[in-house]
Amino acid sequence: MTNDNRTEQEFLSSYNVHDYDVPLTSVDLVIFTLREQALQVLLVRRSDHPCKGKWSLPGGFIDVHRDKTLDDAALRKLREKTGVQTPYLEQLQGFGSASRDPRGWSATFAYFALISSDDIQLQHGGTADAAQWFTVAENLCSADLAFDHGEILAAAITRLRDRTENSSMPVHLLPAEFTLTDLQRVYELVLGRPVDKSAFRKRIKEGDFLEEIPGKMRHASNRPAQLYRLRAGHPALTLMRRIGGDAKA
């Protein structure tokens, strides 16, 4: 009886989500920042079943009454955990299977956030679980994380490295004002290899997503360094190393 002549109105009034077996649907976040001269990720200890006691990515079910969109749901979780209002946020990948959660068929939209450690105010107490920053290392993904969160974390690290090879992404790990040397250190940290200063600066300037802060320098016991900031109104991500040929022709 699905192909009759009911109006859409009639159809909808007879439709009830609860009549069907549906997957659990959640949002999980991989939140990166720079702390203690290292790339770190935020994990939360689960205070309840399933996976009680294990470390997990922050996240949870979509609240169909409060969240208008998937991005809203991710932003809400991020703000609840870190207090950060306007992070760099992008969708990473979906993960779903019959077996990843013992409560039943489960699917999650994994997100990927970069924030400056200056902006963080970890939310403690109340219903918040214990949250802690972990330095990103190869063995962290194979640690005994909850659900398939090790796999999600590995995918996030891969994505961050890939984007670092050819985009401005890592700027979002820094505070609003920084020197080019600061930025170079971030690239080196994420890529795990040294980067040539001259070539790096050429590429960044060419990308044209930064601007000098007029007259503002950082002083130390050496030549002062020009401070830069993101050029206002520019996209959050600028691709560099444009591909050969004339991509517009």
What does 36 interact with, of its own copies, DNA, none (CB < 5 to 8 A by kind)? none
Determine, following the binding rule CB under 7 A, whether residue 248 of this chain makes contact with DNA.
no
Q: List the beta strands (DSSP E) in 121-240.
A: 131-135, 210-220, 222-230
In this chain, which stretch among 7-15, 76-84, 85-93, 217-225 interacts with DNA, using CB under 7 A?
Answer: 217-225
Contact 89, 78 (CB under 8 A): yes
Closest CB to DNA among residues 124, 193: 193
Strands 24-35 and 106-114: parallel
Q: 2-21 mask for DNA (x: CB under 7 A)?
A: --------------------
Closest CB to DNA among residues 78, 180: 180
Query: Judged by CB under 7 A, which of 31, 156, 180, 190 binds DNA?
Result: 180
**Alpha-carbon distance values, 228 to 180, 182, 205, 217 (Å):** 7, 10, 11, 9
How buried is 248 (Cβ within 10 angstroms: 0-12 exposed, 13-18 middle, 19+ buried)? exposed
**Token pair of 105, please?**
């068929």
Determine, following the binding rule CB under 7 A, whether residue 197 of this chain makes contact with DNA.
yes
How far apart CA 166 and CA 190 sit, in angstroms, is 13
How far apart CA 134 and CA 124 sit, in angstroms, is 17
Determine, following the binding rule CB under 7 A, whether residue 241 of this chain makes contact with DNA.
yes
* Least Å from the CB of residue 165 to its own copies: 5
Number of alpha carbons in the 13 Å side-chain half-sphere of residue 139: 0
Query: Judged by CB under 8 A, which of 22, 38, 137, 176 binds its own copies?
Result: 22
Phi-psi region of 47 (alpha: psi -120 to 50; beta: other; left: phi over 0): alpha
Kindly write down the DSSP assignment for every residue of 46-67, as one continuous string.
Answer: --SSSSTTSEE-SEEE--TTT-
Q: Considering only residues 168-187, where is the footprint of its own copies by CB under 8 A?
A: none
Determine, following the binding rule CB under 7 A, whether residue 199 of this chain makes contact with DNA.
yes
* Least Å from the CB of residue 76 to its own copies: 13
Determine, following the binding rule CB under 8 A, whether residue 96 of this chain makes contact with its own copies.
yes
How far apart CA 147 and CA 154 sit, in angstroms, is 13
How far apart CA 52 and CA 102 sit, in angstroms, is 12
Determine, following the binding rule CB under 7 A, whether residue 202 of this chain makes contact with DNA.
yes
Query: Judged by CB under 8 A, which of 83, 85, 86, 97 binds its own copies?
Result: 97
The contact set with its own copies (CB under 8 A) reads 2-3, 6-8, 11-12, 15, 17-18, 20-25, 47-50, 52, 61-62, 64-65, 67-70, 73, 91, 93-99, 102-105, 107, 109, 165-166, 193, 195-196, 241, 243-247, 249
The contact set with DNA (CB under 7 A) reads 179-181, 196-203, 206, 217, 219-226, 241, 243-246
